[in-house]
Amino acid sequence: MKSVFFVQNRDFFGARLIHLPLLNALKGTYSDNEIIVFSPFESSHFFREMGLASEVVVYSYGLLRMRRKLKRLRPDLIVSLRPGSEWLNLSIGLSGAKQRLSFRTVTTQILFTHTVARDISIYRAQAFLKVLELIGISSKPATFFWEQSKQGTILLPDERNTFCMIPGGGSGKFKRWGIKNFLGLCERLKKRYELAAFIFIIGEAEKHYVEEIQSASIAKDSKILFNETIANCARAIAACKVTIANDCGPAQIAQMMNVPYVGIFSNYDGKARGRIAEWFFPHENAQAVTTEDAEDIKAIPVGRIEKTVRQLFPEA
């Protein structure tokens, strides 16, 4: 194999995270190869910073420019996660790459060597990895993040029943269950579990939560991870009994690690089930919680989340 070409298809933190298992699987299979990420988003330099790409090319529309670029690169393998882009499909089809992989559309069936049906009823990271299965590369989303957890350096509470709280929601307030609800949950868990402790994973958009957490009754039992590395977030999540999170970027780390997990989903528009199908990773230790009717996410009672946590971690 000479080089690998990969295309990112969404521009937010959670979307970047769910591409990491695919890139990690490629790097693990073709360790001596050059992996080049092509993306329309500047934020994709993240993949090179994570050590999973040797180069990131930020491109704009242009069939002839893209065709010339691919001809110069002469990649052996192209993996495209943008099958709906007809000009890009044509560029890839004319690239000369021996293997061209993507999800199945009328165009990709003609122009690509391997395609698989896109199943939007399964978690996105799993769907991406199914593309690699077309050429015999099998991997699980958890692999990369457990490797990352071993590289974390933060100190964690010893011999505590620690719970991870991820109260973010970069897409807007409609995703946020609210810091008061998270703190109320912590207070309940503190009464329920001996030696309960809490780790809050928050980003720039949640920095105003710091003061509220530090002023809460559970402050002395809490640790705040602010703008932490993926490795340290994974290390913290791995050490916790249950992770409780809004549908947000860092929550994807916990989901892909297959740890006990409670995902809180907004049903403000009555379409939560569709989002859960695509953005919730179901396994025996994971629960997705939402409202039956179209309601504000804050309508989900703290007691309901506490009950779900107790189902996943029944020791009292």
- Enclosing domain of residue 154: 149-312
pTM higher than 0.85:
yes
- pLDDT band at residue 31 using 50, 70 and 90 as cut-offs: confident
- Residue pLDDT, tens place only, 251-292: 999 999 999 999 999 999 999 999 999 899 999 999 999 999
In terms of residues, how long is the chain? 316
Q: Structurally, how many domains does the chain consist of?
A: 2
- Residue pLDDT, tens place only, 303-314: 999 999 999 999
Asked whether residue 25 falls in the same domain as residue 129, the answer is yes
Rounded CA-CA distance 195/4 in Å is 49
pLDDT above 80: residue 296: yes
State the chain's mean pLDDT as an integer. 94
Asked whether residue 115 falls in the same domain as residue 163, the answer is no
Confidence (pLDDT) at 246 = 97
Whether 144 maps to a domain, the answer reads no
Asked whether residue 171 falls in the same domain as residue 28, the answer is no
CATH (domain of 263): 3.40.50.2000
Q: CA-CA distances (angstroms) from residue 59 to 8, 20, 66?
A: 11, 20, 8
- pLDDT band at residue 118 using 50, 70 and 90 as cut-offs: very high
- The three-point CA angle 125-128-129 to 5° equals 90
Asked whether residue 174 falls in the same domain as residue 300, the answer is yes
